[in-house]
Amino acid sequence: MATTDIETLGINVVRGLSMDAVQKANSGHPGTPMALAPLAHVLFTRIMTFDAAAPDWHDRDRFVLSSGHASMLLYSYLYLLGYGLTLDDLRDFRQWGSRTPGHPEYHEVPGIEVTTGPLGQGVANSVGMAMAEANLRTRFGADVVDHHVFAICGDGDLEEGISHEAASLAGHLGLGKLVWIYDDNHITIDGPTELSYTDVVPERFRSYGWHVVEIGEVANDCDAIEAGIRAAMAETDRPSIVILRSHIGWPSPKYTDTAHAHGAPLGADEVAVVKEILGLPAEDFFVPDDVVAYYGAAGRRGADAHAASEARVAAFRSSDPERAAAFDACLAGRGLPGWEASLPAWEVGSSVATRAACAQVITAVAPVVPGLVSGGADLTGNTGTELKGSMAMGPRDLGGRQIHFGVREHGMGGVCNGMAVSGLLPAGGTFLVFSDYMRGAVRVAALSRYRTAFVWSHDSIGVGEDGPTHEPVEQVMSLRAIPGLRVVRPADAVETAEAWRVHVDGDGPTAFILSRQNLPVLAGTVERAATGLPRGAYVVVDEAPGGLDLVLIGTGSEVSLCVEAAERLAADGTRVRVVSMPSWELFEEQSDDYRDAVLPLGVPTLAVEAGVTLGWDRWADDTIGVDTFGRSAPGGRVMAEFGFTVDNVVARAGELLGFTA
């Protein structure tokens, strides 16, 4: 179809809005929105199936602006298409309290599918979205799930390592509903991409097993762009990348193809020149009524498809209520009613590594938490992320619930986040020390409240023989520093199960910090974890009657150590309470009265955790921890050498109380 006058005007209006918003904010990235306005126009008006009046419709096509710095491109179209943004929201771009922050943020505005900005995250999310689409379509049928995932990416996205990890996985799986459009504009903030980047992108993606569509210098040719995207969509057995050569800042005479256009306002004079070239009036935020009407109609174009989709889902619910209930639970990211009854139980005194307990939990609840999918970064069995008896997701069966992510920690995190907003409840596992490799994805999950389970095992110097490169010491405390991340270090198998109950029934991401070594199941957790763990900290051993001399706080493997030390101290007449504190974040959510009841003011308190002591002064008067790197030796020897013994806990307690124990 030929580009019409109203299309040309609409595209130029978006360019004008992008320039004006960045100019008014005196901050932002105008060049990419100017160059890619035709591409976004084609996607929203000719290609994608969506209903702006129902932005949460489960079977809509997904759009990810991985080049999140080009946010004004997305905001302009969300305003025009009828997603609820106003012209005043565009005027408030990047201002305090506005709905249009510098980079798109999930939950801020309908139509923003994921938080983007940290480069590479969005394309990794799009792989997760496509995996979720393929998984649910395979399991429940194309009548209820059948949509595409589109992502716009730039040079920065493709330079970031996470894009390599995610693209490699997508190619391996053959995600035919995934289409990336690569904005090949040859410009970065430092200058021409050739300063640091000479990859042959088509060959790179062909090596991944992708379908490559090179459409060249057609950034202003809507028909050619449409043809390229439709050619990509016609390939159903492989993901596709459409490579578009654009010119950042076009048609600015002064700044086209310059680094300035990437990340700085054009200046009032240049904005005026560009508007004259585009045939726009000089006024700021110019949007004529016919453009509003045109795009408003485009935003409603998918209403019939939406209604037909809902009718098919209703028929599915009527004809197969059991499978439909599972489907609905997937979309909600929840368990079936009463799912928690499937959580396993353990006898007091049994010995189970919490990573092994995790595997038992997810295997037991998988039938009643239908959205649960799980896997590890080539460490599935080692990390407790194996769904025993479940088929693996692979090129020949995308309906499997066991995922082999390969050695792709950062990609795994980004992919899991994409699945978490697309009808699945993902768990991705690796060793705790390698959580550092995926920190960007973890931070975005916390910021965006994605319901991702980050499962990190081998949680301390107890790893032993692998040595200091594999022994985490600072990781747990650094994860606690991330706002919105629920960090849980369970004391035993019982607490591990309760942590999963909190995650499935809760909101936001959870970090499961799990032991390699076996830990005893404690009487106190069997009796009290069901109510205690959701509150973050609770008493697992009561003090003897008559008063309270000392509180021992433990997390993870150190809780059982505190229990043993308390028994010896009590034998000598010291009245000791043992508190398990699996989650600082959950404990901080409790009332002052509850926190004071668990950790009474004025009572000497000793914390014991096999990690850095930084931060423990918030809860304890003294801490036994690890403020250096570990050593290579059998795990028991390493723990003992660093002071994680009953003798040392008793001695340090005596020092705190002012006597020799």
CA angle 239, 241, 246 (to 5 degrees): 165
Contact 279, 12 (CB under 8 A): yes
Q: How many C-alpha atoms does 23 have within 13 Å on its Cβ side?
A: 17
Phi, psi at 113, each rounded to 5°: -80, -35
Contact 92, 43 (CB under 8 A): no
Q: How many C-alpha atoms does 8 have within 13 Å on its Cβ side?
A: 10
Contact 359, 352 (CB under 8 A): no
**Tokens linked to 653:** 């307690």
Reported residue count of the chain is 661
Q: Which residues pair with 510 in a beta bridge?
A: 453, 486
Q: Is 474 a catalytic residue?
A: no
| DSSP code, position 378 | S
Report helix, strand and coil shares of the chain as percent, to nearest 5. Answer: 45, 15, 40
Give the integer Cα–Cα distance in Å for 171 and 330.
Answer: 25
**Tokens linked to 38:** 């035709």
Contact 175, 131 (CB under 8 A): yes
From residue 463, alpha-carbon distances to 352, 431, 630, 642 in Å are 15, 10, 9, 13
Q: Which residues pair with 151 in a beta bridge?
A: 64, 180
β 351-353/518-520 pair status: antiparallel
Cis peptide leading into residue 251 (ω within 30°): yes
* Closest by Cα among 629, 631, 635 to 464: 635
Task: Report which residue type is found at 114.
Answer: V
- 282's CB contacts (< 8 A; 6+ apart) are 272, 275, 276
Q: Strand locations in 458-517, DSSP E?
A: 486-488, 510-513
Contact 379, 431 (CB under 8 A): yes
**Tokens linked to 50:** 């969506």
Task: Report which residue type is found at 655.
Answer: E
DSSP-based three-state secondary structure for 98? coil
Neighbours of 7 (CB within 10 A): 19
Give the integer Cα–Cα distance in Å for 297 and 295.
Answer: 5
Radius of gyration of the chain (CA): 27
User: Angle of helix 121-140 relative to helix 439-448, nearest 10 degrees?
Assistant: 70
* Closest by Cα among 352, 629, 344, 395 to 497: 344
CA angle 74, 290, 305 (to 5 degrees): 60
Cα dihedral 636→641→646→651 (10° resolution): 180
Q: Which of 160, 226, 409, 585 is catalytic?
A: 409
* Closest by Cα among 111, 96, 109, 4 to 51: 111
| DSSP code, position 52 | T
Residues marked active site are found at: 409
